Amino acid sequence: MNSIPIEYYLILSAFMFSIGVTGVLIRRNAIVVFMSIELMLNSANLTLVAFSSYLGNPIGQVFVFFVMTVAAAEAAVGLAIIIAIFRNKLTVNIDEINIFKW
């Protein structure tokens, strides 16, 4: 079926995953941190779909369906928390939000 070896997909998803991890570590804007987390989830989705397609079994894609549901819910809750914080402190910079030590 595919002239593309599965390794190509895996390397791409590993790359996106580490970019996501880097984003979480270096960005200070809480919203961008959440976007980086979405990137991590997407790289996992890519791996799941790639394997699902190469194995010819649909479970991986069913899993991706659930991951998308979870990602949507997580984004909604995360952004609501950010709005609540913003209302109190007028910032979304996670360095400035520290009553506790990070």
Sites for other proteins among residues 4-63 (CB under 8 A): 4, 6-12, 14-63
Ranges assigned E (strand) in 34-95: none
Cβ at position 63, least distance to other proteins in Å: 6
Handedness of CA 5, 7, 9, 11 (dihedral sign): negative
Residue 96 binds to other proteins (criterion: CB under 8 A)? no
CB of 96 to other proteins, least distance (A): 11
Site for other proteins in 65-84 (CB under 8 A): 65-84
Cβ 87 to other proteins, closest distance in Å? 8
Beta-bridge partners for 100: none
